Amino acid sequence: MNSTIAPEKVCFILNPKSGVKSSVSVPDLIAAHLDHSRWAPEIIYTQYAGHAPQLAREAAAAGARLVVAVGGDGTVNEVARGLLGTSAALGILPKGSGNGLARHLGIPLALPQALALLNNPVFHRIDSCAINGHPFFCTAGIGFDGLVSSVFAKSTKRGLSSYVQLVVREFRTFQSEAATVSINGKSLSSDFFVVAFANASQYGNNAYIAPMANIQDGLMDVCLIRHVGIAEAIQLGYGLMTKQIAHSSLAEFHTCATVRVQSEKPQYYHADGEFMGQAQEFEVQLFPESIEVVAPLPAKS
């Protein structure tokens, strides 16, 4: 009697535009490093922005136990969105410039090591969130965050240095807007520079907006930053990169499962760094243990 267990289906969804400067062939790496006695791989390329959710849903419906996002934060968000409500788990091969969720979960940034993680998978259920119905898994934000995402979306340059240059340029003319944040039965009104919603601890590139965030605790961390000048902005930048923002007098933190924001004027907003548009009213919700991922133990901050 043959007791050999058949390999399970794994689908790799690749964004051909992520990491375009890399000479690494992901299909070659999969062939070399994936345990083919454990996994039967299928590789699919996205053809346009917004294609990955459909591909992920189809892969899950076809019986894939694991669907792996190969790309940056945008690709990870799209694949994860498609897996919500399915029995397939999310895997990540980080190939972007920020890699926020991968970094939070402790997934190696080197692709051979990330693939090795899939060969002995440890599955966890993690929380997800949505801002005005747009799912996010790492962070979302209103105000300066949102403005930067809108400008970055139009830029042809990627990488940390390009992002920092953009932030400095846009900060010079940015005006904080008056808004009211309704959270835990309280209403907080001010001119806000940033209202950030963190399911995970960082934006990406180890820039920690909520170092204490736990992606499995059923709560999001909300960071409120009121109007700041240039000196405070420099202090905030340092705090982001050193995790000291958690102790900064410039940032106010709350934890909750739902939060609403009412702005006097339309504000830009993003979900996982992707520009979502403008709105005056925002509803942000957390959905506990709503997606399964493969990540090292523990999958926490």
User: How many Å apart are CA 65 and CA 86, to the nearest integer?
Assistant: 10
Q: Is residue 301 part of a domain?
A: no
Q: Are residues 172 and 84 in the same domain?
A: no
Q: What is the pLDDT of residues 149-159, one digit of tens each?
A: 887 776 666 66
Q: What is the mean pLDDT of residues 6-24?
A: 81
Q: What is the pLDDT of residues 96-107, one digit of tens each?
A: 888 999 999 999
Q: Are residues 22 and 163 in the same domain?
A: no
Which CATH number do you get for residue 109? 3.40.50.10330
Q: Are residues 276 and 141 in the same domain?
A: yes
Mark which of 121, 151, 176 sits at the end of a domain: 121
Q: Are residues 166 and 259 in the same domain?
A: yes
Mark which of 121, 150, 178 sits at the end of a domain: 121
Q: Are residues 45 and 105 in the same domain?
A: yes
Q: Are residues 115 and 163 in the same domain?
A: no
Q: Are residues 179 and 284 in the same domain?
A: yes
- DSSP conformation letters of 162-180: HHHHHHHHHHTT---EEEE
pLDDT range class, residue 301, cuts 50, 70, 90: very low
Q: Are residues 273 and 150 in the same domain?
A: yes
In total, how many domains does the chain have? 2
Q: Is residue 24 part of a domain?
A: yes
| Number of neighbours of residue 229 by Cβ within 10 angstroms | 9
Among 81-85, 119-123, 152-156, 197-201, the minimum mean pLDDT is found in 152-156
Q: State what percent of residues in the chain have pLDDT above 90.
A: 74
Mark which of 121, 142, 157 sits at the end of a domain: 121
Give the pTM.
0.92
Q: Are residues 46 and 183 in the same domain?
A: no
- Judged against a pLDDT cut of 60, whether residue 19 lies above it is answered with no
User: How many Å apart are CA 282 and CA 259, to the nearest integer?
Assistant: 8
pLDDT range class, residue 234, cuts 50, 70, 90: confident
- Judged against a pLDDT cut of 80, whether residue 289 lies above it is answered with yes
Which CATH number do you get for residue 149? 2.60.200.40
Q: Are residues 162 and 99 in the same domain?
A: no
Residues spanned by the domain of 270 = 134-288
Q: Are residues 283 and 142 in the same domain?
A: yes
Q: What is the pLDDT of residue 105?
A: 96
Q: Are residues 179 and 95 in the same domain?
A: no
Q: Which amino acid is at 52?
A: A
- Judged against a pLDDT cut of 70, whether residue 278 lies above it is answered with yes
Q: Is residue 293 part of a domain?
A: no
Helices of type H across 120-212 = 144-154, 160-171
Q: How far does the chain reach from its first CA to its final CA, in angstroms?
A: 46
Residue 225: beta bridge partners? Answer: 194, 251
